[in-house]
């Protein structure tokens, strides 16, 4: 069926954006989970994919990753009591425009052979507005149409809270990034030259420090802030209950 619109839940948007902003050196990507009804796709979860190849403009999803995502969608179907499946993919464009490249359109076309409503999201990050020098984030939603990219209307749907699943995905990000660094360092370990070895270890330590600095620490701070604000809310609601009970007694 012809895809008319895509609704992206705000908490999923947050997960994707957090992932896209985690590095400006290469493109990151993931898969989107949701459901499709009457030409409208609703995205309710995201899966962060680990990169095995850190070359620029190289975003590929291995069959193994796709299989894992399908299993995750099945698990979510049970957890949410709602039929969900893999409905699309997202990737980042650091320092470049949001427009899908030829490779992107080709990859997208390949997915559409399997599922005609499959959709692609691109987050352009770390781009500077020439006038104001402020950093901009742009987001586009596209499909392939006869070898060309076609924009699909996208709506970010507000959610009352961050779903447990999205929270889990957000806390998994630093772990995935640390694993990527670990894998990268694997091939360079035990170099016979002592100086090279020290250098390689230092590079890895710096990368891990970077993950802690830009992901883990802000995440802990954000969650702590939410926890504090929830405590204030609980306190307020308790007082409301007491107040209402008193009113009831006085009647």
14, 42, 104, 169: which one binds Zn ion (CB under 5 A): 104
Q: Total residues contacting Zn ion (rule CB under 5 A)?
A: 2
For Zn ion, the closer of residues 101 and 216 by Cβ is 101
For Zn ion, the closer of residues 10 and 96 by Cβ is 96
For Zn ion, the closer of residues 26 and 223 by Cβ is 26
* Pairing state between β 119-128 and 85-94: parallel
Q: Which stretch binds Zn ion (CB under 5 A): 38-46, 96-104, 169-177, 191-199?
A: 96-104
Distance CA 27, CA 94 (A): 7
For Zn ion, the closer of residues 6 and 122 by Cβ is 122
The dihedral region occupied by 38, where left means phi > 0, alpha psi between -120 and 50, and beta the remainder, is left
Residue 114 and residue 120 in contact, taking contact as beta carbons nearer than 8 Å: no
- Give min distance, CB of 8 to Zn ion, in A: 18
Confirm or reject binding of residue 11 to Zn ion (CB under 5 A): no
Nearest to 169 by CA among 19, 6, 9: 19
Tokens of 183: 């894998």
Chain centre distance of CA 2 = 25
Q: Which stretch binds Zn ion (CB under 5 A): 76-84, 100-108, 113-121, 131-139?
A: 100-108
Nearest to 208 by CA among 170, 180, 167: 180
End-to-end Cα separation, the chain, in angstroms:
60
Neighbours of 51 (CB within 10 A): 20
- Give min distance, CB of 59 to Zn ion, in A: 6
Instruction: Please give the residue whose beta carbon sits closest to Zn ion in the complex.
Output: 104
For Zn ion, the closer of residues 104 and 180 by Cβ is 104
Four-residue CA torsion sign, 83, 74, 16, 166? positive
- Give min distance, CB of 99 to Zn ion, in A: 9
For Zn ion, the closer of residues 16 and 166 by Cβ is 16
Is residue 192 exposed (0-12), middle (13-18) or buried (19+ Cβ within 10 Å)? exposed
Interface positions, 110-169, toward Zn ion (CB under 5 A) = none
- Give min distance, CB of 173 to Zn ion, in A: 20
Q: Which stretch binds Zn ion (CB under 5 A): 10-18, 97-105, 108-116, 235-243?
A: 97-105
Looking at the DSSP assignment, which residues form a beta bridge with residue 96?
A: none
- Give min distance, CB of 27 to Zn ion, in A: 6
Site for Zn ion, rule CB under 5 A = 101, 104
């Amino acid at each position: 069926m012809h895809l008319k619109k895509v609704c992206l839940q705000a908490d999923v948007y947050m997960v994707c954006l957090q992932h896209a902003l985690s590095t400006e050196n290469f493109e990151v990507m993931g898969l989107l989970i949701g459901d499709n009804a009457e030409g409208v796709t609703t995205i309710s979860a995201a899966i962060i994919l680990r990169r095995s190849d850190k070359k620029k403009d190289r975003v590929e999803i291995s069959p193994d990753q796709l299989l894992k995502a399908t299993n995750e969608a099945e698990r979510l179907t049970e957890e949410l009591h709602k039929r969900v499946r893999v409905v699309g993919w997202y990737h980042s464009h650091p320092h470049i425009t949001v427009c899908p490249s030829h490779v992107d359109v080709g990859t997208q076309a390949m997915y559409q052979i399997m599922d005609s409503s499959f959709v692609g999201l691109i987050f352009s990050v770390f781009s500077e507005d020439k006038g104001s020098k402020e950093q901009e984030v742009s987001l586009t939603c596209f499909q392939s149409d006869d070898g060309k990219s076609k924009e699909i209307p996208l709506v970010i749907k507000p959610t009352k809270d961050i779903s447990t699943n999205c929270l889990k995905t957000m806390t998994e990000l630093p772990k995935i990034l640390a694993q990527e660094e670990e894998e990268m360092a694997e091939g360079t370990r035990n170099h016979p030259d002592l100086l090279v070895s020290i250098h390689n270890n230092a590079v890895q330590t710096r990368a891990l420090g970077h993950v802690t600095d830009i992901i883990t620490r802000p995440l802990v701070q954000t969650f702590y802030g939410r926890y504090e604000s929830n405590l204030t809310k609980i306190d307020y609601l308790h007082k409301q209950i007491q107040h209402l009970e008193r009113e009831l007694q006085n009647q």
